Amino acid sequence: MTSPPLQASAQAQPNIALVKYWGKRDDVLNLPAAGSLSITLDALHTRTSVRFDPALERDDIALNGRRDDAHGRRVGAFLDLFRARAGIAMRARVASDNDFPTGAGLASSAAGFAALAVAADRALDLRMPARQLSVLARRGSGSAARSIFGGFVEMHAGVRDDGEDAHAAPLLAAREWPLKVVIAITTRAPKSTGSRAGMELSRRSSPFYRDWIAAVAGDLATARAAVRARDFGKLAAVSEASCLSMHAVMLSTRPGLIYWNGATVECLHRVRALREHEGTGVFFTVDAGPQVKAVCLPEHAARVADALRGVAGVEEVLVSGLGEGAQVTGSAAVAA
């Protein structure tokens, strides 16, 4: 038997949920209360390197070149899952860099934990199948389970107490329906309440929480059928409904979670006008932050990008296609 390389690097892309995830059935194993459905992007990247090193006394975790205690503990606990499987205690050095704003509703934790799961698996030569990597990525961040896969992806909530059936699975490859996503960045400031704390507050205090969770299965069935049939109108309707229902739960949380700013709202109106009055194949979705993601037919992407650039308060517009799942990129040593 050859010994594991102990070091590897991987790349992952954020994903954008069309049927949203907002609520857990178990905090410790990070089990979602309902499923979700997402698209993995190709234009935004997280690149992560990991090196397990017997000389290290503790994990050394850098995100965009910065070290933060709370983040370091969260990543260290995640690495423990891989160390347990490999039967080692070695600490690791991790460097992770995003080429997009971190913590601002662009799913940086999704790409980050997906990339680290794939890199750690390679470094320790665990050779886990993608489904198992998705189960483990979920422990880092619920949405990370989805970034293991590319294109259209469904997250299954699962029913088991141990969470082994709570994983994502691919629904349709990116090339089978190559939609575009136009992202309107309305601020680069980190969000005020993180998703994890926000979801827990919603579960405890929103009077709409139970109804929201109960409605997800129906939205998932509709969205799954729309994706399989490449029915853009049907996907638009269910995606906007899921997004607005989730934000209704956020707003009805006590104290209310207001992730939008004025420009966010203006973008939503602009997207609706493009679709309803200008014949554009586009719909919006918004996550736990103020950025607007406009999902559109590829031939309409330039028109949508121009329209959102013209909205007051929009700082920058990015255009992305749909991309592949998390992948090993090499075994280059981690930069110290």
What is the number of other CB atoms lying within 10 angstroms of the CB of residue 205?
13
Q: Measured from the CB atom, is 121 or 219 closer to ligand 2P0?
A: 219
Q: Is 109 in the site for ligand 2P0 (CB under 6 A)?
A: yes
Q: DSSP label at 334?
A: P
Q: Please report how close the Cβ of residue 139 comes to ligand 2P0 at its closest, in angstroms.
A: 9
CA distance 41 to 151: 8
Q: Measured from the CB atom, is 20 or 83 closer to ligand 2P0?
A: 20
Those residues whose C-beta lies under 8 Å from the C-beta of residue 242, and which sit 6 or more positions away, are 17, 18, 19, 20, 216, 219, 223, 285
CA distance 220 to 37: 7
Q: Please report how close the Cβ of residue 40 comes to ligand 2P0 at its closest, in angstroms.
A: 12
Q: Which of 11, 30, 147, 253 binds ligand 2P0 (CB under 6 A)?
A: 30
Give me the DSSP letters along 31-99.
Answer: EESS-EEEEEBSS--EEEEEEEETT-SS-EEEETTB--HHHHHHHHHHHHHHHHHHT---EEEEEEEES
Report how far apart, in Å, the C-alpha atoms of 107 and of each of 169, 210, 277 are.
18, 25, 31
Of 236-295, binders to ligand 2P0 (CB under 6 A) are 287-288
Q: Please report how close the Cβ of residue 39 comes to ligand 2P0 at its closest, in angstroms.
A: 11
Task: Output the CA torsion 163→164→170→171 (10° steps).
Answer: -70
Q: Please report how close the Cβ of residue 278 comes to ligand 2P0 at its closest, in angstroms.
A: 28
Q: Please report how close the Cβ of residue 287 comes to ligand 2P0 at its closest, in angstroms.
A: 4
Q: Is 202 in the site for ligand 2P0 (CB under 6 A)?
A: no
- Interface stretch with ligand 2P0, choices 15-23, 92-100, 299-307, 314-322 (CB under 6 A): 15-23
Give me the DSSP letters along 234-288.
Answer: HHHHHHHHHHHHHHHHHHTSSS------HHHHHHHHHHHHHHHHH---EEEEE-S
Query: Residue with the closest Cβ to ligand 2P0?
Result: 142
Task: Output the CA torsion 107→40→115→315 (10° steps).
Answer: -40
Q: Which of 36, 147, 245, 253 binds ligand 2P0 (CB under 6 A)?
A: 36
Q: Please report how close the Cβ of residue 177 comes to ligand 2P0 at its closest, in angstroms.
A: 19
Q: Which of 8, 11, 14, 21 binds ligand 2P0 (CB under 6 A)?
A: 21
- Interface stretch with ligand 2P0, choices 14-22, 46-54, 82-90, 291-299 (CB under 6 A): 14-22
Of 120-149, binders to ligand 2P0 (CB under 6 A) are 141-143
Q: Measured from the CB atom, is 39 or 236 closer to ligand 2P0?
A: 39
- Interface stretch with ligand 2P0, choices 20-28, 128-136, 165-173, 319-327 (CB under 6 A): 20-28
Q: Which residues pair with 168 in a beta bridge?
A: 155
Q: Measured from the CB atom, is 42 or 219 closer to ligand 2P0?
A: 219
* Interface residue list for ligand 2P0 (CB under 6 A): 17, 20-22, 30, 36, 109-110, 141-143, 195-196, 287-288
